[in-house]
Amino acid sequence: MSSIDKIRHIIAVASGKGGVGKSTISTNLALALHERGFRVGLMDADIYGPSQPKLLGQKNARVRVNERQELLPTENHGVAFISMGLLMAEDGPVIWRAPMAMKAIQQFLHQVDWGDLDILLLDLPPGTGDVQITLAQQAPLSGAVIVSTPQDMALGIARKGLKMFEQVNVPILGVIENMSGYTCEHCGELTKLFQSGGARRMAEEMDTCFLGHIPLDPKITECSDEGSPILVQFPDHPASNAFLEIADQLAKLLNEQDKTRTPEPTDMRILDTGHLQTEWPDQHVGNHSPLKLRASCQCARCVNEDTGEKILDTSKIPLNVAINGVKRVGRYALAITFSDGHSSGIYTYQRLRDECECKECLEGQGVEEAFDV
Ligand code: ADP
Per the prediction, the chain carries an average pLDDT of 88
The residue whose CA is least distant from atom 23 of ligand 1 is: 216
C-alpha of residue 261 to centroid of ligand 1, in Å: 34
The three-state (H, E, C) secondary structure of the chain, written as one string: CCHHHHCCEEEEEECCCCCCCHHHHHHHHHHHHHHCCCCEEEEECCCCCCCHHHHCCCCCCCCEECCCCCEECEEECCEEEEEHHHCCCCCCCHHHHHHHHHHHHHHHHHCECCCCCCEEEEECCCCCCHHHHHHHHHCCCCEEEEEECHHHHHHCHHHHHHHHHHHCCCCEEEEEEEEEEEECCCCCCEECCCCCCHHHHHHHHCCCEEEEEEEECHHHHHHHHCCCCHHHHCCCCHHHHHHHHHHHHHHHHHHHHHHHCCCCCCEEEECCCCCEEEECCCCCEEEECHHHHHHCCCCCCCECCCCCCECCCHHHCCCCCCEEEEEEECCCEEEEEECCCCCCEEEEHHHHHHCCCCHHHHHHCCCCCCCCC
Considering the entire predicted model, what is its pTM?
0.81
Q: Is the CB of 216 under 6 A from ligand 1?
A: yes
Q: For residue 39, report the distance from its CA to the centre of ligand 1, in Å.
A: 25
pLDDT for res 91: 57
pLDDT digit string, tens, across residues 322-352? 999 998 877 788 999 999 999 988 899 999 9
15 lines ligand 1 (CB under 6 A): yes
User: Mutate which of 151, 217, 221 to test ligand 1's pocket (most atoms within 8 Å of Cβ)?
Assistant: 221
Q: To test ligand 1's pocket by mutation, which of 27, 121, 177, 224 has the most ligand atoms within 8 angstroms of CB?
A: 224
Cβ of 26 below 6 Å from ligand 1: no
The predicted-structure confidence for 298-312, as pLDDT tens digits, reads as follows 988 999 877 889 999
For 12-64, write each residue's pLDDT tens digit: 999 988 899 999 999 999 999 999 999 999 999 988 788 999 999 998 888 88
Q: Which range among 115-124, 193-202, 228-237 shows the weakest confidence by mean pLDDT?
A: 193-202
